[in-house]
Structure 1
Amino acid sequence: MFAKPFRVKSNTVIKGSDRRKLKTDVSNALPTLSAEDLNELIPSKEELNVVKIYAHKGDAVTLYVLHKNPIFFEHEKRLYPTVYTLWRHPDLLPTFITWPAVLQKLAGGADLMLPGVVVPPTGLPQVRKGECCAVSVVKNRAPVAVGTATMSTSEMCGLGMKGRGVSVLHTYTDSLWAFGDKAGPPSILPVEGEVCDEGDKEGEGKDIGECEGEHEGEHEGDLPTDHLSPNLQELSLTPGEGVEEDGEREETVEKVEKEEQEDGDDDMEEEDSRSPQEQMDALLLQCFLHALKSKVKKSELPLLTSTFLRNHMIPLPRPCDCCPIGKQLDLKKSSYKKLSKFLQCMQQQHHLLQVKELSKGVESIVAVEWKNRELRHFSPPEDGLKEEGTAESNGESDRPYHPPEITSLYSVSARLQPLFADSQKRKGAVLSPSEMRTILTDYVKKNELVDEINKNYVTINPILCDCLLEKSEYQEVEKLKWDDLFSRTLDRMQHCHQLVFPGQEPVIRKGHIEPIDFSVASRGSNKKVTLIKNLELYGLDPAAIAVALQHRVQASTVLQPIPGSKDRVMIQIQGNQVQQAGKMLLDQYQIPRKYVQGLDKVQKPGKKK
């Protein structure tokens, strides 16, 4: 679940009632925790944060963070401890043992396969299907993974230890672990008799075949590899080889990993030998050909070059599958530097398209050479798009438009920096109003500024005086009400806002977000036209909106550049179409009404405009 970086939606301090509810939920989920241990994990007076995140596959997860380390995570209304918690309480969950080399596979997203499980003399831990369990490695009881059992212990034994044993959710070295202080697991020696003794100097545990052979007086042979997953197959014994010594096992694992790395890097050797600029040029050409072949339609032409870049080549603000996973297209890092220069090269040297300046300063793609040999024979690399192909099969790539989640935020100004110094918030740090209130409240209480007579007031100290008072108030104002204290602080912070598009990283911009603006203007012979601006800020494609409006109102539309703006255009529609266009944005695209202005300019009944 956390094999790849996740996106943080919110980070707030837990409330008192929620803290008590969390204690109850943890106690129910982990009944073996004593009251003392529970109070240690969820202290009553220490700051505990609730962080809501979206995993890379879109799963909504809630984290509970203490001392900057996530201690629990909640997924689908079920609580799980993190490795940080299990290192303090290693016996909290039933634990399966595996080899150290398997950890790398688990961290990469693989589940724990039963042939890779080491069975100690005491037997497997008793679990039920779906029960939360942990995974550790031989010679160290500190758990390195958390997951759920895919079957009960009796079913595992009944299937001869074949198939998938633990569905892994979280591991040491994954992005959830990296969200904390990135400490390593402690060294906790196994309990005596917990791991098979091979009689060698290392004292390392044996696999299931060896343990059963020694303690039952008969050797049942090596485990078959038919049901092993590709990630764990190399770690099992092959038929006829018998038991390997430690050195041979490590050599085999290293050899297989080396071969895997060589196979996986075959396609990267050529790229690694090129300069970063050459790599970016190749990526730019690949994205360009992919966009032309799979995205652009003849009916869309002529197409603004800026729209082509924004919607089909660079994944902003919506995901785009033309750019391979793990790579980011940056024109400035290529040899072309500008889109116009790149398109000119594609036109003159590759003969792929025709670009013309249909209006002053605005270039458009007017034609595409669909029969071009280079374009016809281009096929996107499959490796870089596997995950996106999965997303497409789930319908995510063609999902309908959803408006962004817009949150008003504030950044620390230079004047307020002394007030936020204790909380390690520097100039430009972005805060929500609730975070600002929490920091300010802590500051007041820490410096004992609450008025002793009337606790609704706060005494002004020199820092508050410099940060919040006007010069004329220096000698007059000695106290402020709490609400006045908060409002003055917000007034002196810089406004900004956060946009969260579904499945995308949050985007933070300065100032208030500009609303979608409707206006009606007159052209020659007193003809009216409707102008619509700022659609790009909400992830809407002006070209697509213009086409939709053209069909909806049966009137001509044209895109025009906005003076003083590089990449933004406005739609011009013939006639007063405010009512129809506004209704489409509000109903079909679900844009909140407060982010649309100018709807009052709708044509009045009985009056021609």
Structure 2
Amino acid sequence: MFARQFRVKSNTAIKGSDRRKLKADISAAFPSLTADELSELVPNKEELNVVKIYAHKGDSVTLYVLHKNPLFFEVEKRLYPTVYVLWRCPALLPAFRTWPPVLQKLIGGADLMLPGVVVPSSGLPDVKPGDCCSVTLVNNRAPVAVGTAAVSSGEMHSLGMKGRGVCVLHAYMDHLWAFGDKSGPPSLPEAEGEGQEVNGEDYEVDDTEEEEVEKCEEEEEEEEQTPGEKVTGQACSGVEELSLAEQEEERGNEEEEANQDDLKEIMDALLLQCFLHALKKKVKKSELPLLTSTFLRNHMFSCCPSGKQLDIKKSSYKKLSKFLQAMQKQHNLVRVKELNKGVESIVEVDWKNRELRCFNVPAETGDEASPVQDGGEAEPPYHPPEITTLYSVSSRLEPLFLDAKKRKGTILQPAEVRHIVTEYVKDNELVDENNKKALARMQECYEVVFPGHAPVRKKGHIEPIDISVASRGSNKKVTLIKNLDVYGLDPAAVATALQRRVQASSNLQPIPGSKDKVLVQIQGNQIHQAGNLLIDHYQIPRKYIQGLDKAPKGGKKK
């Protein structure tokens, strides 16, 4: 089921009532678990996540994850333990033993076939069809796979130990295992003096392992194939040769995964380099606390060597918050804290850290000044982004632009639109050759270019910086400033600069319904002063600032 990559639909923390229900369901499904073992697997005070996924065949599966390790997975309202649970409680399920070479086939999605089952002297475990069971390897009791019994123990003997034994759902080293911390199975030796047989015959591991694997392959090849069913000879859980096409596909998948792993390692290294560079040369103690999003945008990106592109999504961390957590826990370089709800900031940097002190700044970008400063008026001038209004070809106007080979969705400069319309009018001898109404019928877009960064194009109108006045308790006025981040401005820095100008207290507030976005709140009606700061100091064009008309006359406070 997890031999191929699955798709995550949602990942949420479990509720208290659901946690209690999960405990009851686990206890009912696995009554051999003691109360202590159950409390250890599902602790009351530690975060437990519920992850909804879709397997590659479209099956809907629910995972229960603790400390990044999936503990149980639920398919069609039935719970199954993962290998991470079975390594803690190896006797939780009845186990069938097999040979180490079989494990590779289990990982590939094959089932465990009866010719490959190693029968102990005590006999096979007592199971019924559909019972949950595990698979272990010879000389180690640590389970390596989880599945359901295909037939009962009695039927296994009556069938002469031929056919399918365990329908495998999850195995060590498959994608469900890789969703966790990727730890390996512990070494759990078998009880001393426990004899074992191979389908009724005495067996010694060192002398007969290879011989028995070959034997189970030959026996399985003799089985009849069900018409219309693709049987790839799952002898010994499929220890047969794959077809040439399947081998090529498997090799291609392995190479692709290896390339992805290499790219992640390269991006992780670049991420760490930019992080250390930014801390050593860009960040000042006076800037702390510093919004993590601002730290990435204004400091880390500027430390990226030319010719390379920093992309956290292509790293193993995927998110900036996870990377900073790793820097905090593993390296003790920074301390990150949530000063406002949903908004994280770097509140402390250990500049004496050995790793940071030993870091050598690359010569290519060593002492360049950061393109964005902290907003203090004594700092170098802020360089505003270049904003250009563009137009996208709409479906209604697409026929007009086909001669110029511009299809629906193509983004054009206003001058390009006028030229194409003019040529169209001339070629078709239309009356008004200077008709500019095409612009009104096109979808407006915009392009933002920050110094040192690639242009960013988006559809729609660019959000203006919004300045408004609101009333708080006792009819006190406060000024609110939104959308500063759209223009590359650090809200914390703008708040500090404005506070110096008007000598009034300011703070940051999360914007309802927006993730990681904040607004600046400052006491009094400060629209006039805020407008002057944005226009004169930050050089933001007046047309991109909304609410200036609400300023009190003469710039006086109310």
TM-score (norm 1): 0.45
Q: Which structure has the bigger radius of gyration?
A: 2
TM-score (norm 2): 0.49
